[in-house]
């Protein structure tokens, strides 16, 4: 297969569409029938549409508020990338949204043949969306890889699907797809709603189960969206937890509850629905009431799940997601406690009117709210001290609208964020207040954040770039057994796009061992590969500039 032209960071069909792409804040807006006061939002119904503009990369490149850190451009020229996963040092898989490809970057070079090339549905938020790679290897040296993408069958209606593939032991192929979840990808409305809010992020939890998220898919209004008399759980507005074989986890929070309605149109993947259940999806839900999300991660200290959630014209959120978490959509977005009025002189009871599945679903206020939408995207905990101990185990998030990278410290019990000053009320009421949490600026739309095997923070952007955040100077005694950071002074200063005429085939690259993987590691786990051209996270030796992506 011939290599594609990848110098352009946007596909032609995509760049010609409306500027509001990739975030739940892009296309769907909300008409609020209720009050808005100090970050407390409550509503009864909604309507489309409102448009938002995605951020572009700053002319001089991204900058950081911390003078002890710097941003390095590692890769450029990717085609609308949405997610990335590390296979090992200097070895990254990247998903390209509209092309439907999983490409591999080894030692700073794009492998000629994609690991996977599938026909994905084309739409505002359709495409190749999420990936997670299992840490453990199978008996044949392969590893499980989980991919979430929007697929159409022979022109039929699209579906958001979670597949399990086998990543071969040489990391060159994704084979033997096995459908685990078959989720909706079209609106339930007949009034022309856009089919956005498809979520798509995939992660493997500390329990070794697979978690994936989906939004309300163009405005579904059922019990997943807290409409008591609506359709039963239909595979929208939720976080799903399944085993790596696609089965519902036995202690999922809604197992055994019923919604009181029969399901005639729910579709599911392997594992299906249990006999007598009113919803084929019910036993798969870990959380619900989610409008849309593009980011989630587990706290490396507590093992608890956190997510970002996109509001409409108000109320973007960061949430602590316990089992059975009800995020409140479509009845609540933003904070429900402490300030709202029911119009009759009393305070609103956030539990009133929400679907609880016999008490198994529990509403919880978000831990942070942006009053004016910024379209939060990726969320990542930095389980490393390589940027200094002051950042270790802290939370980082990106966004669509401003190009900011946000940094949050957690409180001592790690069940909330450590906020002060104008953010002490958990609400950024203005763009100026939002800057209190911003660490970086000018990235453009951030689509993914990952911690590399080198312990540094990597930022993937819609414009086709991968950045790495590193210390300006080496840090010693940084909590990783006292190991000093490698110098980054030899990093080439010039950047170049992927050169299609100089892309090696995968057989010419040294392959990492099968147990190398993308999951977060500290420097004690770094590999000493001496035959590479560009070592991501180490000293970068001399190299012909046209053969590197830096």
The span from the CA of 303 to the CA of 95, in Å, is: 26
| Phi (first) and psi of residue 373, to 5 degrees | -60, 135
What is the rounded (10 degree) CA torsion for 408, 412, 416, 422? -60
| Phi (first) and psi of residue 313, to 5 degrees | -85, 0
Evaluate the omega torsion of the peptide bond into residue 51 and state whether it is cis, within 30 degrees of 0: no
Give the chain's length. Answer: 550
Give the DSSP H or E segment for 12.
Answer: helix 12-15
The separation between CA 320 and the C-alpha centre of its own chain, rounded to angstroms, equals 15
> Which listed CATH number (3.40.50.300, 1.20.1630.10, 2.40.110.20, 2.120.10.30) goes with 12-547?
2.120.10.30
Q: Which whole-number Å values give the CA distances from 163 to 133, 176, 435, 450, in the listed order?
A: 12, 10, 39, 21
C-beta separation of 327 from 289 below 8 A: yes
Would you write out the chain's pLDDT as a tens digit for each of its 550 residues? Answer: 232 223 333 333 333 332 333 333 333 333 223 334 344 444 434 433 334 578 999 999 999 999 999 999 999 999 999 999 999 999 999 999 999 999 999 988 899 999 999 999 998 899 999 999 999 999 999 999 999 999 987 778 899 999 999 999 999 999 999 999 999 999 876 444 578 999 999 999 999 999 999 999 988 999 999 999 999 999 999 999 999 999 999 999 999 886 544 333 334 443 333 333 368 999 999 999 999 999 999 999 999 999 999 999 889 999 999 999 999 999 999 998 754 434 333 445 666 789 999 999 999 999 999 999 999 999 999 999 999 999 999 999 999 999 999 999 999 999 999 999 999 999 999 999 999 999 999 999 999 999 999 999 999 999 999 999 999 998 874 444 333 333 333 332 333 344 333 333 333 333 333 333 333 333 333 333 332 222 222 222 222 222 233 3
Give the DSSP H or E segment for 15.
Answer: helix 12-15
In the structure encoding, which two tokens stand for residue 437, read together? 């949490």
Alpha-helix residue ranges (DSSP H) falling in 258-407: none
In the structure encoding, which two tokens stand for residue 490, read together? 């030899």
The span from the CA of 263 to the CA of 267, in Å, is: 10
């Amino acid at each position: 297969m011939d290599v594609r032209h990848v110098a352009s960071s946007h596909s032609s069909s995509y760049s010609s569409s409306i500027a509001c792409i990739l975030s739940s804040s892009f296309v769907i807006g909300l008409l609020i029938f209720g009050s808005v006061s100090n970050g407390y939002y409550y509503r009864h119904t909604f309507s489309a549409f409102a448009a938002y503009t995605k951020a572009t990369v700053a002319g001089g490149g991204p900058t950081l508020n911390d003078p002890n850190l710097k941003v390095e451009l590692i890769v450029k020229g990717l085609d609308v990338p949405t997610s990335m996963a590390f296979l090992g040092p200097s070895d990254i898989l990247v998903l390209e949204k509209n092309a439907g490809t999983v490409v591999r970057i080894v030692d700073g070079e794009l492998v000629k043949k994609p690991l996977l090339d599938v026909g994905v549905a084309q739409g505002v938020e359709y495409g190749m969306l999420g990936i997670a790679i299992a840490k453990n290897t199978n008996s044949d040296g392969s590893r499980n890889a989980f991919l979430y993408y929007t697929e159409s069958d022979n022109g039929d209606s699209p579906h958001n699907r979670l597949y399990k593939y086998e990543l071969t032991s040489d990391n060159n192929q994704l084979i033997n797809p096995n459908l685990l979840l078959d989720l909706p990808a079209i609106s339930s409305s007949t009034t022309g709603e856009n089919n956005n809010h498809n979520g798509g992020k995939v992660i493997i939890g500390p329990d070794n189960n697979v978690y994936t998220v989906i939004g309300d898919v163009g405005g579904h209004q059922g019990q997943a969206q807290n409409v008591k008399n609506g359709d039963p759980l239909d595979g929208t507005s939720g976080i799903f937890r399944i085993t790596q074989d696609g089965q519902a986890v036995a202690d999922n929070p809604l197992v055994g509850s019923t919604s009181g309605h029969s399901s005639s149109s729910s579709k599911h993947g392997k594992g299906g629905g249990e006999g007598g259940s009113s919803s084929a999806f019910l036993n798969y839900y870990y959380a619900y009431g989610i409008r849309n999300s593009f980011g989630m991660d587990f706290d490396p200290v507590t093992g608890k799940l956190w997510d970002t959630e996109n509001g409409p014209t108000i109320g973007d959120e960061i949430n602590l997601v316990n089992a059975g978490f009800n995020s409140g959509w479509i009845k609540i977005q933003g904070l429900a406690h402490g300030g709202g009025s029911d119009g009759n002189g009393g305070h609103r009871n956030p539990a009133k009117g929400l679907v609880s599945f016999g008490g198994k679903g529990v509403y919880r206020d978000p831990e942070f709210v942006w009053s004016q939408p910024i379209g939060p995207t990726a969320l990542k905990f930095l389980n490393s001290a390589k940027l200094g101990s002051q950042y270790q185990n802290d939370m980082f998030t990106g966004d669509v609208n401003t190009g900011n990278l946000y940094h949050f410290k957690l409180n001592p019990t790690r069940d909330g964020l450590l906020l002060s000053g104008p953010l002490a009320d958990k609400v950024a009421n203005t763009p100026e207040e939002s800057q209190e949490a911003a660490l970086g600026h000018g990235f453009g739309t951030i689509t993914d954040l990952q911690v590399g095997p080198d312990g540094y923070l990597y930022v993937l952007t819609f414009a086709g770039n991968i950045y790495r955040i590193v210390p300006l100077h080496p840090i010693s005694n940084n909590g990783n057994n006292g190991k000093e950071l490698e110098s980054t002074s030899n990093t080439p200063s010039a950047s170049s796009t992927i050169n299609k005429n100089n892309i090696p085939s995968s057989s010419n690259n040294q392959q990492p061992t099968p147990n190398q993987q993308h999951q977060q590691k500290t420097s004690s786990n770094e590999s000493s590969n001496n035959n590479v051209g560009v070592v991501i996270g180490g000293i970068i030796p001399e190299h012909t500039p046209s053969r590197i992506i830096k």
